[in-house]
Amino acid sequence: TATTQAFESAIAELEGGHAAIVFPSGLAACTHAILAVARSGDHVLMSDSVYGPTRQFAQRVLRRLGIEVEFFDPLVGGAIRQLLRATTRLVYLESPGSLTFEVQDVAAIAAEAHRRGAFVILDNTWATPLFFRPFEHGVDISIQAATKYIVGHSDALLGVATANRRAWDLLRDG
C-alpha cells in the first residue's frame, strides 16, 4: 500500500540505507534477512547475545537447512578474522545485544567480514538509527523490530529490514 511504501522509505532514510522492506514482525524481518543471504552449505557467524528467538531460529531451522551456525563473543572485534572461513557467508550482529548489552565493534567486524566476501546483518533495534548509523559502519542489512520503539512498545507487531545497494537485490528477492 502507499502507507507501507511511505513507511519503508522513511525507515530507509532514517537508517541511511538504500531501501527497506516491512514485515509483519521483528522476528520475520530477522529470519527473512538471514534466509535471503545464507544458503545450504554456508557458515554463519552469529553474536552470542542475540535476541533469544533469533538464536533458536539459527539453532533449529538454519541447522536443519544445512547452514552451519557458530556463535561468537560479542566483544570479539577485529579478532573475528580467526573465525571467518572460506564458506562464511554471513556475520549476524546485534549491538547492543539483548540481555547482556555488549556494544560491538561493528566497523572492525564488518571490515573483516567484507575482506572475506561475507555479508553483515545488524539487528539495530536497541540502538535505533538515531544512536547508531549502521551503513556508516559497514553493515549491509539493518533490522528494526518496529514493535518496540517505532510502534510505541508492543501495541502492534511490525518489523523492517533496510539494505545497502550491495544487499538490496538479495533482500528484496528473499
Ligand X SMILES: *Cc1c(COP(=O)(O)O)cnc(C)c1O
List interacting residues with ligand X (CB under 6 A).
Answer: 25-27, 30, 51, 94, 98, 123, 125-126, 145, 147-148, 157, 159
- Name the minimum Å distance from CB 87 to ligand X: 26
Query: What phi, psi does 112 have (nearest 5°)?
Result: -70, -40
Q: Which residue is nearest to ligand X (CB)?
A: 26
- Name the minimum Å distance from CB 85 to ligand X: 26
Can the peptide bond before residue 74 be classed as cis, meaning omega within 30 degrees of 0?
A: no
Task: Kindly compute the dihedral angle of the four CA atoms of residues 11, 16, 21, 22, in this order, to the nearest 10 degrees.
Answer: -30
- Name the minimum Å distance from CB 147 to ligand X: 3
Q: Tell me whether residue 119 or residue 126 sits nearer to ligand X (CB atom).
A: 126
| C-alpha cell recorded at residue 42 | 554456508
- Name the minimum Å distance from CB 41 to ligand X: 26
Q: Tell me whether residue 58 or residue 84 sits nearer to ligand X (CB atom).
A: 58
Q: Tell me whether residue 18 or residue 25 sits nearer to ligand X (CB atom).
A: 25
Number of Cβ within a 10 Å radius of residue 64:
8
Q: What is the 3-state secondary structure (H, E, C) of 127-154?
A: CHHHHCCHHHHCCCEEEECCCCCCCCCC
Q: Tell me whether residue 51 or residue 92 sits nearer to ligand X (CB atom).
A: 51
